[in-house]
Amino acid sequence: MKAFVIKRYGDKDGGRITETPDPQAGNHDVLVRVHAASVNPLDFKIRDGDFKMILPYRLPLVLGNDLAGEVVRVGSAVTRFAVGDEVYARPDKDRIGTFAELIAVHQDDLAAKPTNLTMAEAASLPLVALTSWQALVEKAQVRPGQKVLIHAGSGGVGTIALQLARQLGAHVATTANAANAALVKELGADIVIDYRTQDFEEILDGYDVVLDTLGGETLAKSLRILKPGGKVISIAGPPDADFARELGANPILRQAMNMLSLKTRRHAKRQGVTYSFLFMKASGGQLRELTRFIDAGEIRPVVDRVFPFDQTREAMKYAEKGRAKAGKVVVAMA
């Protein structure tokens, strides 16, 4: 099969389409012909080696972290899917590689593709939709009437998190540039703060939950706009000990991760709030929950641009340089 492969970490211009062996599907696996896959910041971080201590992939490596496609073979123990089914997924972190013609995915990580979406639209959703669900539903347990701030509302995670927070009944604020104000309001934002001209810390106060997608000073300010007992869930801040335990990291690595987030957690404690890091997990079950919202038209994908498979490198450069005006960048195989 053809796949987009990197041979070494840190080569920003690296990666090329080459012939690789077809994946082997186990008894519980579904072999999927990939029709489309989307580009995520996680792809850049993996390519650059940012996670090589905690996600020790074997090189050469096929990149890509979510997909939509068609089932072409099922393992002997597979019960949920049949040949010809249209599916979408974020594969498990140990089994990435969606920038390829074929991929084997455990049946527990797959869900039936929403019937009202194209393959490209469906491929834009799994990673960002699962991130939004795990942040707002699992970790934050957002309830109706709570005040939620979602940073970068026009980004990949932001566009879905805004819609989910609205469905959960929250009062939602977001940061975005003025050009995307109308879009993020349509997606569910009650308050839009232009990050270029306004400081959200001077405008917002007493929030229950912040979904931080930016880290750094934005994370530090986010801790200060929460009410006592509030929560910041970050996908861009320093990892914490809970994340290390989820990875099954050794004691030395656990201690190192704990130290990375020590300053942030101390700051949070002084404010009477909590900080947690989220590295989203694959889950076909949660995707099925999200599909109910998608099929009902309550959550919709936002796709900025679709590139052909032979321009995967260009698609990654386009996304990494922030050229997307809103939503996701997708690679289409056909």
Q: Are residues 99 and 170 both part of a single domain?
A: no
Whole-angstrom Cα distance, residue 239 to residue 222?
A: 17
Question: pTM of whole model > 0.95?
Answer: yes
First and final C-alpha spacing in the chain: 13
Dihedral angle of Cα 49, 55, 59, 63, to the nearest 10 degrees: -80
In a domain, 283, yes or no: no
pLDDT at 236 over 90: yes
Q: Are residues 77 and 192 both part of a single domain?
A: no
The structural domain count of the chain equals 2
Other CB atoms within 10 A of residue 80 CB: 15
- Sequential DSSP letters for 83-124: TT-EEEE---GGG---SBSEEEEEGGGEEEPPTTS-HHHHHT
Q: What is the mean pLDDT of residues 170-177?
A: 98
Q: Are residues 87 and 139 both part of a single domain?
A: no
In a domain, 134, yes or no: yes
Q: Are residues 92 and 148 both part of a single domain?
A: no
The amino acid occupying position 129 is A
Whole-angstrom Cα distance, residue 39 to residue 248?
A: 27
Give the CATH number for residue 208: 3.40.50.720
Give the CATH number for residue 101: 3.90.180.10
DSSP state of 196: T
In a domain, 227, yes or no: yes
pLDDT at 176 over 80: yes
Pairing mode, strands 102-106 and 147-150: unpaired
pLDDT in tens, 247-292: 777 788 778 888 889 999 999 999 999 999 999 999 999 999 999 9
In a domain, 294, yes or no: no
Q: What is the CA radius of gyration of the chain?
A: 19
Q: Are residues 165 and 238 both part of a single domain?
A: yes
pLDDT in tens, 26-35: 999 999 999 9
Whole-angstrom Cα distance, residue 308 to residue 95?
A: 23
Q: Are residues 186 and 306 both part of a single domain?
A: no
CA 46 to chain centre: 14
Q: Are residues 113 and 135 both part of a single domain?
A: no
The pLDDT assigned to 47 comes to 95
In a domain, 71, yes or no: yes
At 225, the pLDDT band (50, 70, 90 cuts) reads very high
Residues sharing a CB contact under 8 Å with residue 299, sequence separation 6 or more, in sequence order: 129, 160, 163, 164, 167, 290, 293
CB burial of 93-123 (b: ≥16 within 10 Å; e: otherwise) equals: beebbbbbbbbbbbbebbbbbbeebbbbbbb
In a domain, 90, yes or no: yes
- Domain with 151, as residue range(s), is 127-277
The pLDDT assigned to 86 comes to 98
Instruction: Identify whether the C-beta of residue 44 lies closer than 8 Å to the C-beta of residue 320.
Output: yes
Q: Are residues 155 and 243 both part of a single domain?
A: yes
Residues sharing a CB contact under 8 Å with residue 156, sequence separation 6 or more, in sequence order: 38, 40, 41, 124, 127, 128, 327, 328
Paired strand residues for 308: 332
The pLDDT assigned to 233 comes to 98
206: left (phi over 0), alpha (psi -120 to 50) or beta: left
In a domain, 284, yes or no: no
Q: What is the mean pLDDT of residues 228-244?
A: 91
In a domain, 296, yes or no: no
Q: Are residues 43 and 54 both part of a single domain?
A: yes
Q: Are residues 161 and 119 both part of a single domain?
A: no
Residue written as token pair 């990666």? 15
Q: Are residues 147 and 48 both part of a single domain?
A: no
Q: Are residues 153 and 202 both part of a single domain?
A: yes
